[in-house]
């Protein structure tokens, strides 16, 4: 039985479509992974800066004891 030209062209056209589908699926997975990794990398850049004084007040022991609910 002789193969029809349409069947031949169809069989030749299927493999590039399958390969491109697999390549795009792999690229999609890779881009998602890249996005998640970059989000983890830049997570600390968006945190607010805390204003922590370099020195404690003169009566820092008294202030800490007065404010602490667990102080004896």
pLDDT tens digit at each of 72 positions of the chain: 566 788 888 888 899 999 999 999 999 999 999 999 988 877 766 667 777 777 666 665 555 555 555 655
Distance CA 5, CA 42 (A): 56
- pLDDT of res. 57: 61
**Residue 2, CA atoms < 13 Å, CB-side half-sphere:** 2
Distance CA 39, CA 31 (A): 12
3-state helix, strand, coil in the chain (%, to 5): 70, 0, 30
> pTM of whole model > 0.95?
no
- pLDDT of res. 53: 74
- pLDDT of res. 69: 59
The ranges assigned to domains in the chain are: 1-43
Positive or negative, the Cα torsion across 52, 53, 55, 59? negative
């Amino acid at each position: 039985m002789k193969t029809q030209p349409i069947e031949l062209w169809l069989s030749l056209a299927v493999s590039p479509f399958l390969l491109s589908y697999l390549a795009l699926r792999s690229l999609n997975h890779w881009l998602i992974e890249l996005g998640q990794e970059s989000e983890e990398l830049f997570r600390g850049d968006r945190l607010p800066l805390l204003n922590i004084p370099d020195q404690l007040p003169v009566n820092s022991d008294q202030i800490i004891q007065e404010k602490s609910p667990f102080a004896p």
